[in-house]
C-alpha cells in the first residue's frame, strides 16, 4: 500500500498494488503524518492517533492526544509517527516558538516522544532512545541503530527542515 497526504490540507489517498487507481479516504480530520505498520494504516492529527485497519471500514481513534506535562508559551505543536526496529510505534512531538520570533538560528525548543500502546489506547512518555537515533521528516521518519551507523549519536533526534510550513516561512522572509 502507498499512502500520500495532500498538503497543506491533509487529505489522504492510497493505492494498493493489486489495484491500478488511487482512492481518496473519508477523513474525520486533517492529518499530519501516516505510517503503514502491522498491516494497518496509522495517521496522526493534533496528537491523536487514528487507525484504518480495513479499507472497507471507517477510521477509529486508537490513542488520544497525550497530556503534555510542560506548557511553554510557544506557537506550534508538530506530531510524527516513527516505527522502531521492534515494530513498536513512537509518537514524537515538538514545539517551536511563534513565527515572528523564528530566525535562521532558531532550534526546536521542545521535543517529546511517547511509546504507543495501541491495545490499551495509551501512550507512555519516553526518556531515552538508548542506542538508537531518530530522523524526523515530513515524508518518512526513521529509527536507526547507532551501532550500524557510527556517525550517529545515540539517544538523539535529528530534525530535517523539509517541512512545507518551514520552507514556506523561510521563503517569505527572504
Q: pLDDT for 49-93, tens place per residue?
A: 888 766 656 677 788 888 764 455 445 677 889 999 888 899 888
Residue 9 reports pLDDT greater than 80 = no
Residue 161 reports pLDDT greater than 50 = yes
pLDDT confidence of residue 129: 93
pLDDT confidence of residue 144: 93
pLDDT confidence of residue 168: 47
Q: Which residues are CB-contacts of 116 (< 8 A; sequence separation ≥ 6)? A: 49, 62, 63, 88, 89, 90, 91, 122, 123
- Report the alpha-carbon distance of residue 156 to residue 50 in Å, rounded: 27
Over residues 98-120, mean pLDDT: 68
C-alpha 96 chain-centroid distance: 15
Whether the predicted model's global pTM rises above the 0.95 cut: no
pLDDT confidence of residue 115: 92
Amino acid at each position: 500500500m502507498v499512502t500520500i497526504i495532500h498538503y497543506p490540507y491533509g487529505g489522504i489517498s492510497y493505492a494498493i498494488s493489486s489495484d491500478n487507481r488511487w482512492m481518496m479516504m473519508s477523513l474525520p480530520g486533517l492529518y499530519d503524518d501516516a505510517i503503514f505498520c502491522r498491516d494497518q494504516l496509522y495517521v496522526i492529527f493534533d496528537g491523536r492517533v487514528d487507525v484504518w485497519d480495513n479499507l472497507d471500514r471507517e477510521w477509529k481513534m486508537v490513542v488520544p492526544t497525550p497530556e503534555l506535562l510542560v506548557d511553554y508559551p510557544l506557537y506550534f505543536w508538530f506530531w510524527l509517527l516513527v516505527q522502531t526496529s521492534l515494530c513498536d510505534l513512537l509518537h514524537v512531538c515538538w514545539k517551536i516558538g511563534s513565527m515572528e520570533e523564528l530566525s535562521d538560528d532558531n532550534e526546536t525548543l521542545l521535543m517529546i516522544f511517547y511509546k504507543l500502546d495501541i491495545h490499551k489506547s495509551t501512550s507512555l512518555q519516553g526518556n531515552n532512545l538508548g542506542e538508537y537515533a531518530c530522523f524526523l521528516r515530513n515524508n518518512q521518519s526513521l529509527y536507526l541503530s547507532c551501532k550500524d551507523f557510527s556517525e550517529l549519536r545515540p539517544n538523539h533526534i535529528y530534525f530535517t527542515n523539509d517541512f512545507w510550513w518551514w520552507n514556506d516561512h523561510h521563503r517569505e522572509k527572504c
